[in-house]
Structure 1
């Protein structure tokens, strides 16, 4: 047996040498100086040698030499070298990657990172270079998945291995290092297409790159591993090592790699590769951020080539190409044109021309892109629904370069503008956008081919459009018909033949602006005006003004002698007026024993809007945040009518308030934030109400923040309508508007003074403010019906005890005093019109646009949330109720909201959801309450919708059990009963006018 055990080598030590410590720290330099045997120090000459060295626990020098050999030959393999590359897919490269990931990285990662700091040729960089391929990424993902499954499979009884979470953290750090870089995609593509392989073998490799990187596999595996690392408190790394687990950061990384791919000129070899990868990346949940990055890097940058973005779009499928192009239009409008308003200033024309130049460069030579622009202008989704007119002018300038396309836009717009179904069912915001397109296109066609516009104005299409518009039941639809009729007639007809309806609306500012669109002519300009907002030049610091010197009161000359002034009894001050100053209370901070804890540098409350914005931006300062929130409602209301501070900074202030987070858990944080936003909307309703409506659908906010936006809009509308008076309004009044204390007592009795002081107190906003308002409106709606039902159930009025007693006490009262509904307060038409145009129309139009969008968009996902949908419907119902029965646009608002409530998507989500069902019933109740005096018109104009609503409400009422007194189901059933009774009364009374619409129902 001894012959079988042959010693390989013998090491003799001297006894004189002191014994070294068994456990001591060895640095990298000492480890490198250790002598190695021949087997471990040898340099590999092939992939087989490298694999053998890595399998047998090599020393640090052998590992570095092996990694250097692998990284050296990874580029030579594509040039006919006999040694293949580790980046090329093969069984040997797969084994090498598996050994590197599972054995080398866990053992040598700490040493590699220590050696790799500040060196580009270190062991860490060599290891990363060897794994920068699809094979390496797959190896890391497989190892991550295996460790994750191992961690999950271990039961609670068995002690979990502590090294699992540690190894997961190491692999996440490795993955982030391997993927880091904007040129990663080029290297992966070159490695997959290198060599003499035919296209049949390289095509699967390229497809694997697209599937692995563009899919969500990397994000899901990395995110799952990151959660395990965090749960075990083993996450010692910073955010740079966990970015592959964040979908937004990973999507931006893909976008930068796609930009680098097109910048390198490789798109000529494989033009479809970048488009396929972009198509995959846009489905990771952050398509808007990806498109914004691509637009900024490939178009809105000096020395950029926008035609390459057009090349990317040309290889996308038609549906995706449409989505991307429309998203580009939306992004350009939001960044450059929306703040210009109606584009009436001189600075608007260069911006519009620059945006037109960007669009023209993107779709240059792409016929499908040009046809998509025509569809965008004339499509049913609206030509930039909710956006300013600037983007329509820019698109029109691009389309006008082709005469046939411009004539097609005019003909489609005119046919759609006069369609009766379009007039009846389309949102008014969409009709306004299409009316602008019609006027703009008519002006371009008249300047290019006047004869074509003359012939079109003599056709039946034009005559039917004008007649249908003038006979429309909605006031805003008729107004659009008036301005379009006069605008187009002013181009073709001369003298007395011009259409002039002699209406005041067409001669006002808005009417003149609409008719002036026929004279607008924009050109496709350069992109230089677009580079200024995205300039990265550092801004000059604002000059700091020295604090104003404290002014001393002027010294009066010393007077000699005495001055004796005789006062009359009337002018003599009363003794009661001389009130001594009260003894100052002790300061709590001054009572502290430790003088170092006393704060003498407390910030003062902001007195300017810019200072308020500075406080809100300082998210790390508790005092600034608290002072800004407490001061914002009063300060904004105070500055609303004095100067232009609020108007100039409204957007910036609203963005800060909507996205503000409660970092310090400030008391009444939500109430103060909402009151600040309400003050903004009340101060600038025409600007801020559409802004908040757009933010609700397009902004990147949480559900609670979006809910606060709806609450702000609902409460602001009621305050503008006069239903509610904010306590902050009284506190924001300037002292100059108040009488002195002595004089005020002469006009106010003690009771009135107490009421005034109580009304000026600042009260917090309840969290369920809209629910309380809805409950109050519901009670007002159901109370008369319940009283009538109670009277009918107790018998005739002549037999009632109360009536008999009244007649005994007062024989003159022969008739019984009936219960009457309180009279609805009349609201000024200006306020009602403001609620309709600025609050109701933008919010409902964007919702209808979201209904027709794809299921992957953010706006589509919002409307399927039951909580947000119910709150949204309550907000619209409050708009209807706040506008009142005197608004001229009530028929239009009623039709839009009624059809929205009957939409299939809305009613389908209400099945089994009492909260959403209650919101729909409340909206129907608000419609019936406001339209009580015009129920005949409602039945005549929307007979089919009224009958459909009755059937749906009857089904809801029959499906509810009730019985639980005071419960939610009982309340919903009572509300359904009230709505059903009111609908049945209207149908029975006006059923004759509904016969035509009910045919075939």
Structure 2
């Protein structure tokens, strides 16, 4: 009736307008009713669609949303808005285009925390593939509209608002660890036919696993202004790390529930998609913590997840799992000599066993991990290899296969010549451990293997290797295995000093180790998350005094004889204090923090990122404090890794003066204090850490500068400033032996020279100038005619690049020699970890790792760092042949040289590395031509091609690179001409 329609519009009382108005006709409306009884009066979903289309009031909207969310329908009992249907698509379209823009804010404010509120009912309507796709389509339309208006110079304020609303809607629709399982369950309810579920699986995999949510959310977020972002909060959907963590949590949550084959296949596929979102380590860590490293974990949950993955994905997950278990639990154990080591190794072995026990494919992958090119945990401690062998040793075939492949690989000549030494050491440990298990359980098999030709060839090839470290490994492995099967008079004994020292004895004892597969209980976190009370420093003991405390001053009168002018010391004029001179006394700070004097205080200051004073004091104090504490106690050794991690990730939040230099000097101080520990740690961090390009570059700078300081080339001023006062004479006494200038030990930090951002580049440029200067002088003696003009240009550019270099000198610059122990330290703790991890990264299947190391700026800096390390170690390094072979092979890598095409910085770094190689190996060029003949010839061809492809003549970077290429060619030609017969013989062979 007309009166009824008027009542519905006004929402007031019935005024009985029939007495005043005579209707022309009567229209009966069955949907425009309001109030709590509207749900019962909605006849069909078409009625709900009609209500939503005609601008419903708030009460009508709430009732309609409740009707749709509950799926109540009198005439269509099988209707569900979450199921694909034409009517459901129309309803969702109206909701996303009309209802959400107008009612979103009001619905959010009226939730009251109830799951049955209109807000939650609205979210329930969108939790389906169709609902999420509708949000996607609407977002794309608004993004396109915003782009078009930006290009035309127009502006609509409602477009960013609508984008923010849709992003907020999508966030609330997906939020929760059980959301994907809920969407899957509602979509597949009542579907028993696999032909019906297969398209659904593909659609949901495309929605959640293709990365479209991340890219679309990131694009939409970029169109919002800062105020909109602050109002709506952080959109985790646009963060690949947070999205991967959310998706992995949903997969884990679904796995612990009762599943069907179709459900298991879907969530396994979703986990496989999560591995390819760029942060596979996040997904794998979530899988481990949710399915393996928990109490009362069921192996079938993990097995059902992994069995549906392709074999390549299972291999990737296994290898990453081994790395995480090693990093989290075993690396800190070192050589695993402590009592704690046995229990943790058994626990990790239990975790690995749960991972591979139900699948022969994964067990074979574990054997491949032990003997393959990955290096059996390259750069990791021996603990993870012991855990893996404990699992493999449970089956005879796998153990013998691991030993046979290890022996064959151990004696391969190409492997000995070209593999990084860290990888050879890891494989030698695997060989010894596997031989120990075979000897304990199948001794006859070991005796047969040690009489076979592969074993004989392995020892022979090892003893004939040109590298000292390769020969050492051959001797310790030969003595250890011979000691298991041969009698006393027939045991192999090389009677070398190296094999009888601590390291040799440790290697030979590996055959005696027998680890057991235990439970994962020691790896689990405590159930209570209560904070551990911090240990407070005990207060200094108060010494009891026998004298009563004086409560007043004692005034004593002195005679003139007792009082002399020398005894009266006048007070000096106080220094000006800017804070005290402030007119407003309330602005004077009396609570300024003091500089930290303990490493734990330094860590506390670095963690306090919200306090400017703490951050500044920590940065200023860190270089001196760390160096001062290096050899006094174990503070630095126990907290070195934590300190380094804090410094690497530290951000210049307060724009502190000289921030980058202070940060670098702090990290350098840590490396100088603990080089054997922190050299490999920084190398690992560069490749494995989740850091930016600039942070990774700082790691390389720290390694290069620290190595130079250890070698005695550039000693930091902080080294003198960090000396204890007990190590110096009093100032008055010191003046008797030194000049009147202040002692270097007491130089204030403000007088120290700051490191430039391109410190390594400057060092490389200085070394290059020093190495090319003799070539220029030699050329000056032989040049006549037009060549003199060319040479003058060359020498002037050389002088401009480094004014300290005197071109007139014809003597070759002296090569600084350092102690063998220091050279060995630089080789083992700095150079080898960097080259070995680079080789492993090249062969890695992770595209993210390869993308990082082949970033042009990082690659150029990485190559320069290796060249500087080699130059710092010098020609007296015992491991120089191995270092030269590793660096030469790395420089000639196809992928590395491909990056040099069109990039002068990479080309320049390669040429500088070749120049450093030739200079350090100048006195052993005969051995180089004999052992690396093919590399020498290939280098000559490549450098000649680079030289011919550069124009030069413009005085710019290209000319500098061409000059460097000319220097490398001259050095190469000298060696090739002198040892041509050696090269020809090598190439013929």
TM-score > 0.5 by shorter chain: yes
* One of 783, 787, 796 as aligned partner of 2:773: 783
Query: 1:171-196: per-residue Cα shift (whole Å, max 9, x none)?
Result: 11111111112222222222222225
Aligned to 2:831: 840
Seen in structure 2, the aligned counterparts of structure 1 residues 188 and 931 have a Cα distance that, compared at 3 Å, is: same
In structure 2, the residue corresponding to 1:237 is in which secondary structure? Answer: helix
Separation in 1, partners of 2:748, 2:359: 68
Aligned to 2:26: none
Contact 2:284–2:321 at 8 Å: present in 1 too? yes
Separation in 2, partners of 1:287, 1:9: 60
Separation in 2, partners of 1:963, 1:755: 49
Aligned to 1:801: none
Contact 1:505–1:511 at 8 Å: present in 2 too? yes
Matched, 1:994 2:989: no
Aligned to 1:276: 269
For structure 2, the residue ranges without an aligned partner over 5 or more in a row are 16-31, 786-807
Separation in 1, partners of 2:565, 2:947: 73
Separation in 1, partners of 2:692, 2:132: 33
> Counterparts of 1:934-945 in structure 2 under 5 Å?
934-945=924-935
Please report how far the alpha carbon of residue 759 of structure 1 lies from its aligned counterpart in structure 2 after TM superposition: 11
Moved more, 768-777 or 47-56: 47-56
Contact 2:191–2:197 at 8 Å: present in 1 too? no
* One of 939, 942, 945 as aligned partner of 1:949: 939
* One of 27, 43, 46 as aligned partner of 1:45: 43
Separation in 1, partners of 2:532, 2:190: 54
Separation in 2, partners of 1:825, 1:284: 49
Please report how far the alpha carbon of residue 793 of structure 1 lies from its aligned counterpart in structure 2 after TM superposition: 2.3
Please report how far the alpha carbon of residue 539 of structure 1 lies from its aligned counterpart in structure 2 after TM superposition: 2.5
Separation in 1, partners of 2:11, 2:617: 76
In structure 1, the residue corresponding to 2:510 is in which secondary structure? Answer: helix
Aligned to 1:412: 405
Please report how far the alpha carbon of residue 497 of structure 1 lies from its aligned counterpart in structure 2 after TM superposition: 1.1
Aligned to 2:23: none
Separation in 2, partners of 1:912, 1:81: 67
Aligned to 1:680: 670
Query: 1:39-66: per-residue Cα shift (whole Å, max 9, x none)?
Result: 9887323222221221122222222222
Normalising by structure 1, report the TM-score. 0.90
Please report how far the alpha carbon of residue 234 of structure 1 lies from its aligned counterpart in structure 2 after TM superposition: 2.7
Contact 2:168–2:232 at 8 Å: present in 1 too? no
In structure 2, the residue corresponding to 1:347 is in which secondary structure? Answer: helix
Moved more, 101-110 or 181-190: 181-190
Contact 1:386–1:429 at 8 Å: present in 2 too? yes
Contact 2:721–2:745 at 8 Å: present in 1 too? no
Separation in 1, partners of 2:264, 2:130: 24
Moved more, 160-169 or 755-764: 755-764
* One of 902, 906, 909 as aligned partner of 2:892: 902
Matched, 1:132 2:127: yes
Contact 1:622–1:664 at 8 Å: present in 2 too? yes
Aligned to 2:629: 639
Please report how far the alpha carbon of residue 526 of structure 1 lies from its aligned counterpart in structure 2 after TM superposition: 0.6
Contact 2:723–2:745 at 8 Å: present in 1 too? no
* One of 329, 334, 342 as aligned partner of 1:349: 342
Separation in 2, partners of 1:874, 1:269: 53
Aligned to 1:972: 961
Please report how far the alpha carbon of residue 822 of structure 1 lies from its aligned counterpart in structure 2 after TM superposition: 3.3
Aligned to 1:812: none
In structure 1, the residue corresponding to 2:930 is in which secondary structure? Answer: helix
* One of 209, 218, 221 as aligned partner of 2:213: 218
Seen in structure 2, the aligned counterparts of structure 1 residues 604 and 155 have a Cα distance that, compared at 3 Å, is: closer
> Counterparts of 1:421-570 in structure 2 under 5 Å?
421-532=414-525, 535-545=527-537, 548=540
Separation in 2, partners of 1:953, 1:13: 88
Please report how far the alpha carbon of residue 551 of structure 1 lies from its aligned counterpart in structure 2 after TM superposition: 8.1
* One of 151, 165, 171 as aligned partner of 2:166: 171
Please report how far the alpha carbon of residue 37 of structure 1 lies from its aligned counterpart in structure 2 after TM superposition: 9.2
Aligned to 1:26: none
In structure 1, the residue corresponding to 2:633 is in which secondary structure? Answer: coil
Seen in structure 2, the aligned counterparts of structure 1 residues 542 and 495 have a Cα distance that, compared at 3 Å, is: same
Query: 1:130-162: per-residue Cα shift (whole Å, max 9, x none)?
Result: 211111111111111111111112255564222
Moved more, 379-388 or 305-314: 305-314
Please report how far the alpha carbon of residue 734 of structure 1 lies from its aligned counterpart in structure 2 after TM superposition: 0.5
Separation in 2, partners of 1:828, 1:208: 65
Please report how far the alpha carbon of residue 304 of structure 1 lies from its aligned counterpart in structure 2 after TM superposition: 2.1
Separation in 1, partners of 2:299, 2:225: 43
Separation in 2, partners of 1:471, 1:499: 16
Aligned to 1:257: 250
Contact 1:427–1:841 at 8 Å: present in 2 too? yes
Seen in structure 2, the aligned counterparts of structure 1 residues 150 and 42 have a Cα distance that, compared at 3 Å, is: farther
Q: How many residues align?
A: 944
Aligned to 1:394: 387
Contact 2:853–2:859 at 8 Å: present in 1 too? yes
Matched, 1:863 2:853: yes
Query: 1:951-986: per-residue Cα shift (whole Å, max 9, x none)?
Result: 111111111111123x21121111111110010010
Please report how far the alpha carbon of residue 270 of structure 1 lies from its aligned counterpart in structure 2 after TM superposition: 3.3
Contact 2:416–2:465 at 8 Å: present in 1 too? yes
Moved more, 182-191 or 543-552: 543-552
* One of 312, 328, 350 as aligned partner of 1:335: 328
Matched, 1:291 2:281: no
Matched, 1:193 2:175: no
Please report how far the alpha carbon of residue 311 of structure 1 lies from its aligned counterpart in structure 2 after TM superposition: 2.5
Aligned to 1:87: 82
Please report how far the alpha carbon of residue 121 of structure 1 lies from its aligned counterpart in structure 2 after TM superposition: 1.2
Please report how far the alpha carbon of residue 353 of structure 1 lies from its aligned counterpart in structure 2 after TM superposition: 0.6
Separation in 1, partners of 2:357, 2:695: 41
Aligned to 1:367: 360
In structure 1, the residue corresponding to 2:987 is in which secondary structure? Answer: coil
Seen in structure 2, the aligned counterparts of structure 1 residues 82 and 784 have a Cα distance that, compared at 3 Å, is: same
In structure 1, the residue corresponding to 2:988 is in which secondary structure? Answer: coil
Please report how far the alpha carbon of residue 300 of structure 1 lies from its aligned counterpart in structure 2 after TM superposition: 1.1
Query: 1:864-895: per-residue Cα shift (whole Å, max 9, x none)?
Result: 10000000000000010000100100000000
In structure 2, the residue corresponding to 1:770 is in which secondary structure? Answer: helix
Please report how far the alpha carbon of residue 824 of structure 1 lies from its aligned counterpart in structure 2 after TM superposition: 2.1
Seen in structure 2, the aligned counterparts of structure 1 residues 989 and 7 have a Cα distance that, compared at 3 Å, is: same
In structure 2, the residue corresponding to 1:725 is in which secondary structure? Answer: coil
Aligned to 2:18: none
* One of 85, 88, 100 as aligned partner of 2:95: 100
Please report how far the alpha carbon of residue 502 of structure 1 lies from its aligned counterpart in structure 2 after TM superposition: 0.8
Seen in structure 2, the aligned counterparts of structure 1 residues 583 and 559 have a Cα distance that, compared at 3 Å, is: closer
Contact 1:40–1:59 at 8 Å: present in 2 too? no
* One of 58, 65, 69 as aligned partner of 1:60: 58
Seen in structure 2, the aligned counterparts of structure 1 residues 546 and 523 have a Cα distance that, compared at 3 Å, is: closer
Contact 1:87–1:191 at 8 Å: present in 2 too? yes
Contact 1:188–1:209 at 8 Å: present in 2 too? no
* One of 651, 658, 667 as aligned partner of 1:661: 651
Seen in structure 2, the aligned counterparts of structure 1 residues 594 and 498 have a Cα distance that, compared at 3 Å, is: same
Separation in 2, partners of 1:554, 1:628: 42
Contact 2:856–2:906 at 8 Å: present in 1 too? yes
Please report how far the alpha carbon of residue 208 of structure 1 lies from its aligned counterpart in structure 2 after TM superposition: 0.9
Separation in 2, partners of 1:305, 1:201: 30
Seen in structure 2, the aligned counterparts of structure 1 residues 313 and 876 have a Cα distance that, compared at 3 Å, is: same
Separation in 2, partners of 1:582, 1:552: 36
Separation in 2, partners of 1:39, 1:442: 80
Seen in structure 2, the aligned counterparts of structure 1 residues 757 and 350 have a Cα distance that, compared at 3 Å, is: closer
For structure 1, the residue ranges without an aligned partner over 5 or more in a row are 18-33, 567-572, 796-816
Please report how far the alpha carbon of residue 499 of structure 1 lies from its aligned counterpart in structure 2 after TM superposition: 1.1
In structure 2, the residue corresponding to 1:765 is in which secondary structure? Answer: coil
Contact 2:293–2:524 at 8 Å: present in 1 too? yes
Separation in 1, partners of 2:257, 2:78: 28
Separation in 2, partners of 1:553, 1:439: 66
Matched, 1:651 2:644: no
Separation in 2, partners of 1:759, 1:605: 13
Contact 2:38–2:63 at 8 Å: present in 1 too? no
In structure 2, the residue corresponding to 1:228 is in which secondary structure? Answer: coil
Aligned to 1:237: 231
